[in-house]
Structure 1
């Protein structure tokens, strides 16, 4: 039995920041990582995760106390909501439903790949759904939930496979998104309508960039005010989720960060309509970037890579094919259906993130892209809303349809 070393909360936060510094440093020295926009949290987080995995194999487990991780994620999604003014929603609201259609189409294809390859390799076709949209579009939480269903209804023990497949997807989604989108940007010579560089707020004061390099003009007063609003969103999300859960309405049981996003949308548009308060978007930009970076560092440094050892060769083959399929789909289909624009390219990179991993992975991919190529507020509105909320509903419908046919 392994011995355990528990890192306390303060030291865990310090290590998360070190993960970011490590990612920044390595990316600055390795040209290929910069060329293909491999996100810094992926680089630094995987290095720390590998070290922890080696220690695990030698009898020592490292555990982090990351109680702020979920709060940071909710804070980021609250900033997405605060950036979604009526003007932006009116301009790009239709794209949300267009992208939902594109993402739903891919879920159908993703499960077709999983089920067909499982059948060809002599496996239970239901396992194809595990290495399909259950874990790749759904993530760890969806994988764990469906594992219980598979165990009770079909006698299949799939929890270890689900966790391993979701971990694989999280990593690969963060690796392929940047190269796919950057190739599109380079090939079609796409430019952000706001231009490149690091000084967008002088000309566009209401723009939220989510770029690590953006020069945000903020004050201590603005920071405290926006931090207060973000914490209101986080606290409100917790209470709304408790209320919804107590009502027993299953279809309304969505992750708490989605509620934080919608509360942010409500607050910013009430403020905009009544003009009682002006939300400082540069501060929203800075705090959103900080909270996302720290959340991703925490999430990636705590990956249990030894779970991947649960994957047998046939499952690795299926997951490899899934990775290639998504990259091709995002490059040729997502990009074209979303309009063959700069925003469409960034959305394609985001699609790689949550099509293989999770919505935060999608946002990480897009953040890396906009830091290099310029802002894409449309992408940062469309992808989080679809990836955090609508896609789970679509995924459920598609999965139930597949199961009914398989059985």
Structure 2
């Protein structure tokens, strides 16, 4: 059964509404910040899998729309990358970026060599590496398409969604224990006093100026996103088959970075961040809903156990890395502990998980202004730039062992 563009949009929106309903009413889903498109999409994927197994029916959706929504999302990431904020973050932010880069390299190394040891194609190791763990659902789904084309692997999209969801849950689970372990190593005088807990809300850094969403800001944002898609697709065509070849979404992301920072630096133009956030989130939500509706879960049967082993190792690596690298690199103080808990969140899951981890610590021990400045900034857009750049290298490593 084939669904056209209008039917695909209608079903995707229905999936999102189902996801919102379930996340609001099921405590586990709400507590671990499981995205609504993932909840609704997986539910529909399971239903369609049952229908396929019983009646042999298959369903296909408008892939052009899915791809466009993916490119819209990554364009929004690029348009959000304000390098002026990087300067404001100073030296600690740069150090944290290096720590995040080290984890990305380690995740991909563990993934590639773990998959080789377990008799899998090394491309599967990338999916169980930074593609889905540091990258999350959006990056996972985007790279799954390119890895399938490059390596000819099966079930990449299904696997990416499963790995990203696993990481999201475990990232929320290990953040607290890691912070507790590190807090025991601090001297009592280094931990903030309890009377500072009321100041926790002050820890959220808010921009001094944010343009409100209106007709003009939406049109400006759509114009910039359209340019990102136009330029990104042409750059993809011009570099295909060369040493500069990258997935299309990476070119759209880079184009967004150039547009945003050129407008800010050369013309003092204030980009409407809220409009970018809203339109980017809509793009990601529809993209994930369609991607998850299209999952063929029965293709995962042979990969489940080996990939699960790799993911368990990745969780252990994240915890050890947070304790022995992130914590030490960030200064071995209370702020470093909160940053380590946050790193567990977006190193395995997503920025909302990182923020939830940090809130769990600061609600008991007091605020960490440094952590709430650095982690959302890095997790929101800089990590995607970093991940895309490093993945280019590790794809070649995987191709060598393919």
TM-score, normalization: structure 1?
0.74
Q: Which moved more, 1:329-338 or 1:368-377?
A: 368-377
Partner of 1:40: 36
Deviation (angstroms), 1:234: 1.0
1:136–1:110 distance in 2 versus 1, CA, 3 Å: closer
Aligned with residue 333 of structure 1, among 293, 296, 321: 321
Deviation (angstroms), 1:217: 3.4
1:52–1:389 distance in 2 versus 1, CA, 3 Å: farther
1:205–1:69 distance in 2 versus 1, CA, 3 Å: farther
Instruction: State whether residues 205 and 281 of structure 1, in contact with CA within 8 Å, keep that contact through their aligned partners in structure 2.
Output: no
Determine if the alignment matches structure 1 residue 88 to structure 2 residue 76: no
Partner of 1:144: 148
Partner of 1:19: 15
The structure in which a higher percent of residues are helix is 2
Deviation (angstroms), 1:394: 2.9
Determine if the alignment matches structure 1 residue 376 to structure 2 residue 376: yes
Instruction: State whether residues 49 and 305 of structure 1, in contact with CA within 8 Å, keep that contact through their aligned partners in structure 2.
Output: yes
Deviation (angstroms), 1:239: 1.3
Determine if the alignment matches structure 1 residue 70 to structure 2 residue 76: no
Question: 3-state DSSP class of the match of 2:59?
Answer: strand
Partner of 1:387: 387
How far, CA to CA, are the matches of 1:294 and 1:371 in structure 2?
24
Partner of 1:257: 249
Partner of 1:106: 107
Determine if the alignment matches structure 1 residue 234 to structure 2 residue 241: no
Deviation (angstroms), 1:9: 0.6
How far, CA to CA, are the matches of 2:244 and 2:324 in structure 1?
33
Partner of 1:181: 172
Instruction: State whether residues 72 and 294 of structure 1, in contact with CA within 8 Å, keep that contact through their aligned partners in structure 2.
Output: yes
How far, CA to CA, are the matches of 1:12 and 1:188 in structure 2?
43
Question: 3-state DSSP class of the match of 1:173?
Answer: helix
Instruction: State whether residues 105 and 390 of structure 2, in contact with CA within 8 Å, keep that contact through their aligned partners in structure 1.
Output: no
Aligned with residue 307 of structure 1, among 289, 296, 299: 299
How far, CA to CA, are the matches of 1:82 and 1:131 in structure 2?
30
Instruction: State whether residues 177 and 348 of structure 1, in contact with CA within 8 Å, keep that contact through their aligned partners in structure 2.
Output: no
What is the aligned-residue RMSD (CA, Å)?
3.3
Determine if the alignment matches structure 1 residue 50 to structure 2 residue 46: yes
Instruction: State whether residues 136 and 165 of structure 1, in contact with CA within 8 Å, keep that contact through their aligned partners in structure 2.
Output: no
1:80-229 to 2 correspondences below 5 Å: 80-90=77-87, 91=89, 92-93=93-94, 95-116=96-117, 118=118, 125=119, 127=120, 129-133=122-126, 139-141=143-145, 143-145=147-149, 147=151, 159=152, 162-164=153-155, 167-181=158-172, 183-184=174-175, 188=179, 203-205=206-208, 217-229=212-224
Deviation (angstroms), 1:258: 1.0
How far, CA to CA, are the matches of 2:127 and 2:20 in structure 1?
33
How far, CA to CA, are the matches of 1:276 and 1:205 in structure 2?
15
Partner of 1:361: none
Instruction: State whether residues 42 and 171 of structure 1, in contact with CA within 8 Å, keep that contact through their aligned partners in structure 2.
Output: no
Instruction: State whether residues 341 and 354 of structure 2, in contact with CA within 8 Å, keep that contact through their aligned partners in structure 1.
Output: no
Partner of 2:192: none
Instruction: State whether residues 37 and 182 of structure 1, in contact with CA within 8 Å, keep that contact through their aligned partners in structure 2.
Output: no
Question: 3-state DSSP class of the match of 2:34?
Answer: coil
1:345-384 to 2 correspondences below 5 Å: 345-353=341-349, 365-367=350-352, 370=355, 376-384=376-384
Deviation (angstroms), 1:136: 5.2
1:108–1:9 distance in 2 versus 1, CA, 3 Å: same
1:143–1:336 distance in 2 versus 1, CA, 3 Å: same
Question: 3-state DSSP class of the match of 1:64?
Answer: coil
Instruction: State whether residues 23 and 29 of structure 2, in contact with CA within 8 Å, keep that contact through their aligned partners in structure 1.
Output: yes
Where do 5+ consecutive residues of structure 1 fail to align? 119-124, 148-158, 208-215, 354-364
Partner of 2:270: 278
Instruction: State whether residues 103 and 347 of structure 2, in contact with CA within 8 Å, keep that contact through their aligned partners in structure 1.
Output: no
1:42–1:32 distance in 2 versus 1, CA, 3 Å: same
Deviation (angstroms), 1:279: 0.8
Deviation (angstroms), 1:95: 4.0
Deviation (angstroms), 1:257: 1.2
Instruction: State whether residues 108 and 130 of structure 2, in contact with CA within 8 Å, keep that contact through their aligned partners in structure 1.
Output: yes
1:131–1:231 distance in 2 versus 1, CA, 3 Å: closer
Partner of 1:397: 397
Partner of 2:367: none
Instruction: State whether residues 38 and 175 of structure 1, in contact with CA within 8 Å, keep that contact through their aligned partners in structure 2.
Output: no
Deviation (angstroms), 1:22: 1.0
Deviation (angstroms), 1:187: 6.4
1:136–1:109 distance in 2 versus 1, CA, 3 Å: closer
Q: Which moved more, 1:276-285 or 1:17-26?
A: 276-285
